[in-house]
Structure 1
Amino acid sequence: MIRWRRRQFNSSWTPAQYARFLALLERRFGEPNQFRLSETPIFLPAALVGRMARYGCEMVEQLLANPEYQRASREAIPERYRVPREDPTPLFVQADFGLDENLEPKLVEIQGFPSLYAYQPVLADAYREAFAIDSGLSALPDGLTDATYSAGLREAIVGKHDPETVVLLEIDPWNQKTRHDFTATEQLLGVRAVDVRAVERRGRGLYYDRDGRPTPIRRIYNRVIVDELERRRMAIPFDYRDDMDVEWAGHPNWFFRLSKFSLPYLDHPAAPEARFLHEAGAAARHPEDYVLKPLYSFAGLGVVVGPSAEQIREIPEEQRPNYLLQKRVNFRPVVETPFGPTKIEVRIMYLWQDRLRPVNTILRMGRGAQMGVDHNKAMEWVGASAAFLDPGGDDDLPVPGQL
């Protein structure tokens, strides 16, 4: 996106560098990566990332200051997943942005749930080493260093506990595509991934097997996606509604409260119009101008760009409150690649400790209708990536097709 850096990178790129990049990660995690990684990192103006980060903060603060939203989002939590002692603010926040035709950031989604906090620094380091990225470019926003980032992540996930009594709770963790983040979390913090079905309930406490001994769980780094529990009809050894003697690093209620459900309540220049499907009115008569999204799916499951009227009619009336229509934005391809201009999606990753602070980014590249893997099959120079922030870069982005 910064012309001279993109030109320099593309002209010096070799397949051997990319192979080394992948080999570095395979050596770190003991197996190939489980999702496609782009052949290139993204060079972003620090000011642009700062603007996106500010927009995300403004949106979250707007939602939390809205009494109607506070009431409605609490009521939206399914009764069987209402966890006691909810934190007043979400510990983890993700805000995803694309760039529209005028190169303005526009929100794609917002989520009160963790992302790849431990994996992303490893990914950036591999890009830096394999491609000899300028040491003056940081992969972290807001003046963070590797040390301050790790310290903040430790405070958020481990808190004041012994890491042995903290678990990363997930469904079938070692068969998830994101499992390298779980490995990186253990390497960085000493916190192990545990299958939600493997914990043991004893009174108000939860335990897990650690090297053959029952170990109490004092704090849970929650990575369980309820949508997956429901789809797989899984039985688990505790009830989310019970008041258990455990802390949550990422309280589960915020998965529902800060989510696609939030989008219709936003009034912000960077937030496209969104309406619940059962309240869509005129929008439902012109669905091709919108994106149809189920409220609580993850990783793009069930999202339809420009749905047909027939696809709308097929959704039963009683299920329509669980969908929304979001105004379609034509995101502009801004990264020049050997295969043509490519779109990006920028995820701003936040931690809310003393304040809501941007701490990292995740980048995705694509030339398909959506950024997901299924929409970019058999393509190169697409997939997950990392950002390097140029404090001297500007927002004067290249016109597609020009370097």
Structure 2
Amino acid sequence: MHKEAREAFNRSFSDKKYQDFVAYIESAFPGQLDFRVAETPVFIPKELKEQILETSEQIIEVLRSPDFKAKTERAVPETQFVPGENAHTSFLAIDYAICRDENGALVPQLIELQGFPSIFGYQAFLSEAFKMHFDVLPEFQYLFNSDGYNAYVAKLRSLILAGEEPESVILLEIFPEKQKTRIDFAVTAEMLGIQAVCYTKLIREGKSLFYEKDGRKVQVKRIYNRLIFDDLLNYPDLVTSYHFTDEVDVTWVGHPNWFFRISKFSMPFLKDSYIPETRFVSDYAGDFPKDLQNYVLKPLFSFAGSGVRLQVTAADLHALPDPENYILQRKVSYEPVIQAPDGLVKCEVRMMYSWEDQAEKPELLISLSRLSRGEMIGVRFNKDFTWVGGSATFFE
């Protein structure tokens, strides 16, 4: 998007460099990379960066409002409420599509937000790998509020470990060795010394939790949660010692309830020029917009794009048995803005925040980007293309 940065990168690009880049990632974490890495990072110019940051601040003010928890009580399903919720989320991810306005200027448009950790470990590793293998102009940086990679890692350590010994802190997932984001678990283990532990391997004794390590039973004092309830529904026959809703003596970094509160459920509460109109379907009371071709229907309680309808009719909306559990969002038109050798590519940028328990507000640490030529952003919509996939973001 930044003309000079893009031209400098593309001049220096070669397929050999890209192959060496991917080989470096594979060699650093063998067998862990399970998704496509794009050939290029995204270069964000100053003006667009400021628009993204200002919109994010508006969103954060809504999340900090005294009535936010009360407004989002319904977001947490009764059968999935986890005890021990902290006062606010530990993580915040805000996703923006890069678009053009009516004057042709680049602008961000909010797509979604999450009170859930993203790939904080891998993203720093990836960004450093881009700098190592390609030409990135020195006036472009991938970190916020950190003086460098080591300072960034120190901030993650403070948030995730919170003074506990690394072996007493686990990264919790379901079958972590099968997850597409498992490279992030490996990077995080190298960064912080914490182990990814499967939900099925936890041992509950009264209110205490344990896992086995090197033949020893180790007590869990803190959980870095990467497990989404939706994933557990794929394994209805699981027999486990511990259940998510059990009351146990642990602290959470990334408490599960915030995954539900800060999600598509939050979108109708947000208003800004860079936030598309979003309402609960039930709020329309049957009087739906006449131009439904300009809206997308999203179920509140499904994730990773599941159940999203790009083409929706009034009949579809009237037929919903639980309209309060769906949102209708004005469509956003991604602008192809990344110049690849064979055309233009769309992109989405995720701003990634940490939020210490005692801090007044979240702190922006890093970002990621995803490049797409398909109808939607995501791996399943971009098979057999080049210059697409997960990537890093460098800001002027």
Deviation at 1:141, TM superposition (A): 2.3
Are 2:371 and 1:365 equivalent residues in the alignment? yes
| Unaligned 5+ runs, structure 2 | none
1:188-207 superposed matches below 5 A:
188-207=191-210
Partner of 1:55: 55
User: Which amino acid is the alignment partner of residue 265 of structure 1?
Assistant: F
Are 2:393 and 1:387 equivalent residues in the alignment? yes
Deviation at 1:66, TM superposition (A): 5.6
Among 240, 249, 253, the residue aligned to 2:257: 253
1:2-401 superposed matches below 5 A:
2-31=2-31, 33-65=33-65, 67=67, 69-102=68-101, 103-142=106-145, 144-233=147-236, 234-280=238-284, 281-283=286-288, 286-309=291-314, 311-312=316-317, 315=320, 317-318=321-322, 320-353=323-356, 354=359, 355-390=361-396
SS in 2 for 1:275: strand
User: Which amino acid is the alignment partner of residue 388 of structure 2?
Assistant: V
CA contact (8 A) 1:334 1:344 kept: yes
Deviation at 1:283, TM superposition (A): 3.5
Q: Deviations over 1:181-220 (max 9, x none)?
A: 0000100000100001110001101000111111000000
More displaced, 12-21 or 298-307? 298-307
User: Which amino acid is the alignment partner of residue 79 of structure 1?
Assistant: E
SS in 1 for 2:343: coil
CA contact (8 A) 1:169 1:194 kept: yes
CA contact (8 A) 1:274 1:327 kept: yes
Deviation at 1:143, TM superposition (A): 5.0
| Unaligned 5+ runs, structure 1 | 391-403
TM-score by length of 2: 0.92
Deviation at 1:245, TM superposition (A): 0.5
CA contact (8 A) 2:146 2:152 kept: no
Deviation at 1:284, TM superposition (A): 6.1
CA contact (8 A) 1:199 1:237 kept: yes
Q: Structure 1 180/314 Cα, relative in aligned 2: closer, same or farther at 3 Å?
A: farther
SS in 2 for 1:65: coil
Deviation at 1:374, TM superposition (A): 1.8
Q: Deviations over 1:12-53 (max 9, x none)?
A: 311101100100100011126211111111111255334313
Deviation at 1:124, TM superposition (A): 0.9
CA contact (8 A) 1:46 1:141 kept: no
**Cα distance in 1, alignment partners of residues 326 and 13 from structure 2:** 43
Q: Deviations over 1:282-321 (max 9, x none)?
A: 4465432111112132322222223345654664x13x32
Deviation at 1:252, TM superposition (A): 1.1
Q: Structure 1 211/136 Cα, relative in aligned 2: closer, same or farther at 3 Å?
A: farther
Q: Structure 1 202/39 Cα, relative in aligned 2: closer, same or farther at 3 Å?
A: same
CA contact (8 A) 1:119 1:184 kept: yes
More displaced, 112-121 or 376-385? 376-385
**Cα distance in 2, alignment partners of residues 34 and 260 from structure 1:** 26
SS in 1 for 2:86: coil
More displaced, 12-21 or 94-103? 94-103
Q: Deviations over 1:339-359 (max 9, x none)?
A: 312111010000112231110
How many residue pairs were aligned? 387
Q: Structure 1 205/31 Cα, relative in aligned 2: closer, same or farther at 3 Å?
A: same
User: Which amino acid is the alignment partner of residue 109 of structure 2?
Assistant: K
